[in-house]
């Protein structure tokens, strides 16, 4: 794997969960919505098309794995997947668990309510559950 720098904003706004073959997985520090980031560990990526074809396919597999892990870790009705990058250009993919009673339903989560900090024990428990889901045979 090539040298990789994680954008300081992405790092500061999230907790480390796991490293997959291509991406590092992080949990956003916002208890309003259980929310993962997948950040490919390569330099100078802005768009998914900046990855070579094999890595594009690997990213899609990792998005599916992260989606399954998040759905197994939390009770959600819908998963939102997005790669926006308007505020942080480093390529990252959001996988967000949604419920009909969350603050932003049915709209997008960005800017609806301020981030809510996790209780430290709850964040640790969720990260552990996610790690278990990533390492289980069925994700």
Residue 3: pLDDT band with limits 50, 70, 90: confident
Query: What does the pLDDT read at residue 137?
Result: 55
Q: Is residue 63 part of a domain?
A: yes
The per-residue pLDDT for range 97-136, each reduced to its tens digit, is: 999 999 999 999 999 999 999 999 999 999 999 999 998 8
Q: How many domains does the chain have?
A: 1
Q: Is residue 128 part of a domain?
A: no
DSSP 24-69: EEEEES-TTS-EEEEEESSTT--SGGGS-HHHHHHHHHHHHHHHHH
Q: List the domain range (segments joined by +) for residue 62.
A: 1-99
Q: Is residue 42 part of a domain?
A: yes
Residue 1: pLDDT band with limits 50, 70, 90: very low
Q: Is residue 34 part of a domain?
A: yes
- Which residue in this structure is represented by tokens 């967000």? 96
What letter would DSSP give residue 79? E
pTM of the model: 0.93
The per-residue pLDDT for range 12-59, each reduced to its tens digit, is: 999 999 999 999 999 999 999 999 999 999 999 999 999 999 999 999
Q: Is residue 139 part of a domain?
A: no
Q: Is residue 24 part of a domain?
A: yes
Q: What CATH number did the domain enclosing 42 receive?
A: 3.30.428.10
């Amino acid at each position: 794997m090539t040298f990789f720098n994680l954008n300081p904003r992405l790092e500061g706004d999230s907790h480390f969960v796991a490293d997959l073959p291509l991406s590092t997985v992080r949990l956003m520090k916002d208890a309003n919505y259980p929310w993962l980031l997948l950040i490919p560990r390569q330099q100078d990526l802005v768009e998914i098309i900046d990855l070579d074809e094999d890595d594009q396919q690997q990213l899609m597999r990792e998005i599916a794995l992260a989606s399954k892990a998040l759905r197994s870790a939390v009770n959600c009705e819908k998963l939102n997947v997005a790669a926006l990058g308007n505020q942080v250009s480093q390529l990252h993919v959001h996988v967000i668990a949604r419920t009909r009673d969350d603050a932003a339903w049915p709209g997008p989560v960005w800017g609806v309510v301020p981030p809510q900090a996790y209780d430290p024990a709850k964040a640790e428990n969720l990260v552990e559950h996610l790690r278990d889901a990533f390492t289980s045979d069925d994700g």
